Amino acid sequence: MLKKSFLLCLFVFILSIGCNKNETLYKVVGVKDGDTLVLLSPDNQSITVRLSEIDCPEKSQAFGQAAKQFTSDLCFGKRVKLTGNQHDRYGRTVGQVELENGVNVNYEIVKQGYAWQYRAYSKNMELASLEQHARESHLGLWQDANPTPPWNFRKEAKTQRVEKKVKKAKRPYKKRRSRKQRDTVAFEI
């Protein structure tokens, strides 16, 4: 009897903790690009969040502005739940963002065709399925016959920057003549 009472009390305790879960809600106060948000915590701390497992086109890339606009329309000014506390090399929090109505922002962006599943960081079969459906339906960036994944776009841009630096470094350097040298040359003529 004592064991049953204990188990019943334990069950009620666990249930009450689960029901009274006071999740922290953040307000979306900025959208930097399709997969990067700025959230404001209840104590007015600004947090930059990189949406995990997805990669949107860069702003300067085809559909980059459209991805940013879609993300903004979806969640700007709304209260959201943040899941995840890892940080990337830029100091951004990496995580999943969910609207109060339960819509997962990360998944919705892929579902509507404004992001790739970032396979280097995700093996999520649901995201893969959402991306495949968006491809087949020609949604968002999948309207393009051969869209360039953002990781390839960034790599190409970096290669071009390096090549430009190398080319600039190889230019012959002309030494300017001093005033005395210029005057001497002018006098000799």
Contact 137, 130 (CB under 8 A): no
Name the burial class of residue 174, with classes exposed (0-12), middle (13-18) and buried (19+) by CB atoms within 10 angstroms of its CB: exposed
Q: Between the CA of residue 159 and those of 59, 108, 143, what are the distances in Å?
A: 18, 32, 27
The pTM score is 0.75
Can you give the pLDDT at residue 109?
A: 98
User: Where are the domains positioned within the chain?
Assistant: 23-107
Q: Which CATH class is domain 23-107?
A: mainly beta
Contact 124, 132 (CB under 8 A): no
Least Cα distance to 124 among 51, 35, 54, 50 occurs for 54
Can you give the pLDDT at residue 17?
A: 45
3-class SS shares of the chain: helix, strand, coil, % to 5: 45, 20, 35
pLDDT tens-place string over residues 40-67: 999 999 999 999 999 999 999 999 999 9
Catalytic positions are: 50, 58, 92
pLDDT tens-place string over residues 114-159: 999 999 999 999 999 999 999 999 999 999 999 999 999 999 998 8
pLDDT tens-place string over residues 88-106: 999 999 999 999 999 999 9
